[in-house]
Amino acid sequence: MPRLNVGEMFGERLREVRRKHKLTQVQVSERSGLAQNHISELEHGERMPSLVTLLKLAAAIGCKPTDLLSPFTNADLRSLLEK
């Protein structure tokens, strides 16, 4: 299986945290002020969030911003940034 890129890794984590909090994309959209299709694109790794978007997502979901970034280990970061 090919290694995921940074967008895909973030998207998987966003989906996982959102589902853990039993929220739909529509609910996160309403709470964050972000369009539902924007959230979908983030979850599919098609877009990368800005810092402001990351903070809006965390507030909407009710988690810490770092919860959305937790899958990134130092080794992941080094390998992703070398590309």
DSSP-derived secondary structure letter, 44: T
Residue 5 pLDDT grade (very low, low, confident, very high; cuts 50, 70, 90) = confident
Residue 1 pLDDT grade (very low, low, confident, very high; cuts 50, 70, 90) = very low
Residue 83 has pLDDT above 60, yes or no: no
Q: 13-45: per-residue pLDDT in tens? A: 999 999 999 999 999 999 999 999 999 999 999
Domain positions in the chain are: 6-81
Supply 48's token pair: 């990368």
DSSP H or E segment with residue 32: helix 25-32
Could you tell me the CATH superfamily of domain 6-81?
A: lambda repressor-like DNA-binding domains (1.10.260.40)
pTM here is 0.83
Burial-class residue 26 by CB neighbours within 10 Å (0-12, 13-18, 19+). exposed
The string over 49-75, giving b where at least 16 C-beta atoms fall within 10 Å of a residue's C-beta and e elsewhere, is beeebbebbbebbebeeebbeeeeeee
